[in-house]
Every structure is written in C-alpha cells, then in structure tokens.
Structure 1
Amino acid sequence: MNAIAEQPLAHGRSAEVFALGPNRVVKLAFEGIDAESVAQEAAASEVAFELGLTPVRCYGLTEEDGRHGIVLDRITGVPLTTLAERNILRLPEVGRTLATEHLRVHSAHTDRLPDVRDFAVELLETPPLSALTPQERAEVARRIRALPDGDTVVHLDFHPQNVFVLEDAPTGQGPVVIDWQTAVRGQAASDVALTRLLFREAELFPGTSLPMQVVYSAVRRVLLKYYLGEYLKAGTVTVTELDRWEIAARVLRLGMLDIPSERERMLAGIRKDLAAS
C-alpha cells in the first residue's frame, strides 16, 4: 500500500484527510474519536455508494498512530463554497445547486441506517445535553418520538462544504456529496431543518475576523434563501414540517458537535420550543 502523505489535504472539526497515492485518501479521525464511530461512517459510506448517491467508494477501516480512519476514493474538485467565494454573483446558483443535490439524496430510501429519531433521543443522554433537566429531556424525547417515521436517506451535515464540484469531470457528472459519517434514515424534513438551522445559527470557523463574520453571515442568508426556495418548490416538504423538526435539529446539532459558542443558543432554542408548545 502507498504511504500516507505527511500533510493533510483537508481538515474539519473531527478528522483530517491525507493523500494515499494518486487515487485514494485516508480520512483519520482525531484522537478521542472511537473505532465504533468510524466504523459507522464506513458502513454509511458503503450504503451511500451502493444507492448511487456518491461515486466515492469506501475501502474499509484503517488505523494510524492510534487514530481510526477509513480509506476512500480521492476526488479532485472544489466545494460549492469556493464557487461562491470566487464569484459572489454565483450565490443564487450555489444555493439552488445545494437544494438540487439535497433532493437527490432524499430520493433514496433504505432500511440499513439508524432511525434519526432514535439517534436524536440517544443524544439527549450525552454530556452536551446534560444542562437540560430530566423533565425537559423526557419531554423533548417524547416529542421527537412522536415525529413521523421515514426511510429516506438523511445526511445530517448537508452544507456547501460537503458538496464538491469535480474538476475535469466527464460530461454529465454532477456534484459529489461527501462526509456520510452522520447518515441515518427518516423524514427528509429532519435533514432540511438541520441545514436551515446551520445556515441561520451555526458558528463560523474559529478565528474568523469580525468583518469576515459580517460578510459570511450575509452570504449565508442569501444561500439559505435560494436553497430553501428551490427545495420547497419540489413540494415534498413544507415549512410547517421543518418547524416541527426544529427541536430535533437543535438536539442533533448540539449532541453531534457540541460547539462551545453554540451551546447556550441551542439549549435556549430547545427550551423556547418546549415553552411555545
């Protein structure tokens, strides 16, 4: 096997991606992320590939210096975010493309992934949600379990950084959706509600200057407008359904990532949803 490159090609909140020869990469989770979580990502990636949702194949698990990882096909391209950064006039196009790809993901159905409701309820018992009282957690769990069932593939981390436009792609080759580590099954509205929450309230990457925060916040509002407008045109999801899934979206966001700057805002939103009902 080819040696792993010393410097990462990309990095995120939970992992780094390293070249493994010309055609493959290794995605290594940071220390502290257990083997079971990485194995779940491998399994979800295989499901996505088999359903035709991504051309990127997963070649199984690996371990390097105590870090767990998976081996994947290498793609050469740029995320949708980069297209918008290169030319701000393409923001509407980027928002609509994001919606089109999300609708494509939601056209697939499976029984091989966990139920999004079960996943969200399990997260209520993790440290990030411990600030809620036992009574609050019980009521949130009751409401999440009461949400409708579904067998749609749900990504749960769907945003422009996870949709790549390939360079030198064959004619007809569309964008590629990556990072299936949180994929589950359920109603499409659960996924769209989480993407809507991300655009509205998610933290920008740490270290972003105040002027750039202002710029990026404005850009995200425009992207959300065109993304949501295009998605809702399909008629498969309503705003009422998105609002109903909002409390679950906050639990998922906080439980999966637990970003310190978002913690109080997410908890306040959960409590506001409880009080409003």
Structure 2
Amino acid sequence: MTTEKIGRGRTSDVYTYGEDRAIKLYPPSEDRAGIEQEAKAATLVHQLGVPSVRCDGLTEVEGLLGIIFERIEGPSFNEVAEKDLRKFGQVCRDLADCHAQMHAAHTTELPDIRDLAIGMLEAAPLDQLSDDERTALTAHLKSLPEGDSVLHLDYHPQNVFHHRDGWAIIDWHSACRGPAAADVAMSALLMSEVELFPGTPPLKLLLYQIVRGLMRRLYLARYFATTELTRGEVDAWMTCARVLRLGLLNIESERGRLLRRVQTAVKVMAA
C-alpha cells in the first residue's frame, strides 16, 4: 500500500498509504517502545481536540514498524512563508495562535516534563556534568511549577501544517505535559540556538538565522499578547529546554554550545 515518499525526518520516512492515509516507517534500530508511545500520544491529543490529524495506530510493512495517520494535503507553515514572504507575519501569528490552542488542552495521561528532563541528566550528552552540577540541576528541575497542558517539545513551522479549514501539528514523539511556558521556551530555543540545515552554505545560513530570529520575536510577541504568559515564566524554563534538547536528540554540532549554557546556568544558581 505504500507508494510514494512524501516526507523524511531524523528518525523516520513518511509515505502515502492507501487513498487518504500516510504512514511513518521507522528503521529497525528505533526503539519500539518510543514508537508505541508516539502513536499513543498522537491518538490522545487528537481526541483532546488539539489541532492534529487522526492516528489509526501501528502496523508493520516489510518488517518495519510504522504509524498510520490521516494524510495532510496542505503546506507546512514553513512552506507558506518561503513561498510568499508577504505572508511571513501572518505565519508567525498563526504559529503562536496554534500553539496557544494546543496548550488549552489538558491531560494527566502524558509524562510530566520535569520527570522527563530529570531522566535526561543521565543521557550520554550530559555525561560531562559533575555530580554537583547534576544534583543542582535535579533540584532546579524539581522546583519548576507543575502543569497539565499538552506540550509538544518540537514545535516549529515545519511541524505545523494547514489542513482542511484549520491546522495540524505533527510529530508527537516527545509529547508530555506541563505548563505552557515550558513548551514556549523549547520553541524559543528551536528558533535561536539549535542547528539549522546541515551543509547549508554560510551566506544562506546567515540569511536563515536572521529570518529565524525575526520569526522568534514575532511568535513570542503574539503569544504574550494573546495569553497571560509572561517572558519571565518562559525564561525560567530555558535551562530545562536545553537539557531536553541535549537528551532527546544529541546533535554533535549543538552539544558543546548547549552544554556550556547549561553549566553556566548551574553556576548562576549556585551564586
């Protein structure tokens, strides 16, 4: 039933599947429990009314485990902005509005973001932390406020699509729960400190960085203007966001920079 590749991520390939479905297929090296958790989270958030597509569960194709989804026909927010720069401002506003709509959904069925981050402190990218640094970070993460909003942790314009008469957020592999500020902090990090497209020529990379910085400012301005969230609440989660980014993906080109900022934050905590 798979006929045409229509997308590719860091850990999966996406194909058409039947007339109106798509399937994410994972290599054998991917952890089955993680794939099952993504399917469970995708099903849950759709039931909660989060802008998303229906998940039809797991299947195997030629020995590969996959997740079946309703197929998205519209473009990603990133594609809209690249195709017509006149729509850039609206894309940033829609990005914030869709994110706020997601955070309006509440659940206790997803992992707590604080527990997820504490677990990451034992991951390989953070093995350079001293025992004292790890202890300080654990205490910091435990002190952060509890929440039950649906969080994505990889929310950026390539993961949000126009779909039918609304929007659809994809890739729920890192879904969890917590305060909205935590997810906004992660998105702010994705728009400022993480790796852009590998192998991009330097001049083009500079342009992307400038555009990404403008998107971050417009997205945050809209989110703050339309919700009760404050910049201070978001800033309080930035160290957690860096820990999660390191633990979840471990991208070599990001590792040193993010780790240094985590360690700097620990020194500030101790001062």
TM-score (norm 1): 0.94
> Secondary structure in 2 aligned to 1:10?
strand
CA contact (8 A) 2:145 2:179 kept: yes
What corresponds to 1:90 in structure 2?
Answer: 87
Q: Please list every run of 5 or more consecutive structure 2 residues that lacks an aligned counterpart in the other structure.
A: none
What corresponds to 2:212 in structure 1?
Answer: 220
What corresponds to 2:135 in structure 1?
Answer: 138
Q: 1:255-277: per-residue Cα shift (whole Å, max 9, x none)?
A: 11111100001101101111122
Amino acid at match of 2:172: W
Q: Please list every run of 5 or more consecutive structure 1 residues that lacks an aligned counterpart in the other structure.
A: none
What corresponds to 2:233 in structure 1?
Answer: 241
CA contact (8 A) 1:91 1:222 kept: no
What corresponds to 1:250 in structure 2?
Answer: 242
What corresponds to 1:160 in structure 2?
Answer: 157
Distance in 1, matches of 2:13 and 2:134, equals 33
Counting only pairs closer than 5 Å after superposition, residues 161-200 of structure 1 correspond to structure 2 as 161-166=158-163, 169=164, 173-200=165-192
Counting only pairs closer than 5 Å after superposition, residues 73-112 of structure 1 correspond to structure 2 as 73-112=70-109
Q: 1:126-172: per-residue Cα shift (whole Å, max 9, x none)?
A: 11211212221121111001100001111111000011013xx3xxx
CA contact (8 A) 2:113 2:177 kept: yes
Root-mean-square deviation over aligned CA pairs: 1.3
What corresponds to 1:4 in structure 2?
Answer: 2
Distance in 1, matches of 2:263 and 2:167, equals 38
Distance in 2, matches of 1:159 and 1:30, equals 24
Amino acid at match of 2:2: I
- Label 1:46 to 1:229 Cα distance change in 2 as closer, same or farther (>3 A): same
Q: Which moved more, 1:52-61 or 1:176-185?
A: 52-61
CA contact (8 A) 1:34 1:68 kept: no
Q: Hey, which bits of structure 1, 4+ residues long, moved more than 3 A?
A: 64-67
2:54 is the counterpart of 1:62: no
TM-score (norm 2): 0.96
Aligned length: 269
Amino acid at match of 2:199: G
Distance in 1, matches of 2:186 and 2:267, equals 20
CA contact (8 A) 1:78 1:164 kept: yes
2:113 is the counterpart of 1:121: no
2:31 is the counterpart of 1:39: no
